[in-house]
């Protein structure tokens, strides 16, 4: 009977540790694809948000990246500036 109670106690402690490990971790942010207008190729180009694939020239105030290829929804967290591919 003692061994049975010890095993149940050990098992429940392990389960609590597993739950706590998942409860106190932050999710890994997903890479988000956004769209920017490239004047050189005269088309919308998909890039990864926050990557070094592009720059936003902050001296020019226009929308830098969009959530969609049709340029209808500007990305709310992107700074305003002219989109430039690197």
Total-model pTM: 0.59
In b/e form, how buried is each residue of 3-29, taking b as 16+ CB within 10 angstroms?
eeeeeeeeeeeeeeeeeeeeeeeeeee
Report, as an integer, the average pLDDT of 9-36. 82
Task: Using DSSP, state whether 28 is helix, strand or coil.
Answer: coil
Helix (H, G, I), strand (E, B) or coil at 81: coil
List, for residues 35-62, the tens digit of each pLDDT value.
Answer: 999 988 999 999 998 888 999 888 888 8
């Amino acid at each position: 009977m003692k061994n049975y109670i010890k095993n149940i106690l050990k098992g429940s402690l392990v389960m609590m540790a597993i739950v706590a490990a998942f409860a106190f971790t932050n999710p890994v942010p997903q890479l988000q694809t956004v769209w920017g207008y490239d004047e050189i190729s005269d088309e919308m180009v998909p890039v990864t948000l926050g990557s070094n694939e592009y720059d936003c020239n902050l001296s020019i105030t226009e929308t830098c990246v969009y959530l969609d290829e049709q340029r209808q929804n500007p990305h709310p967290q992107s700074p305003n500036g002219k989109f430039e591919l690197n």
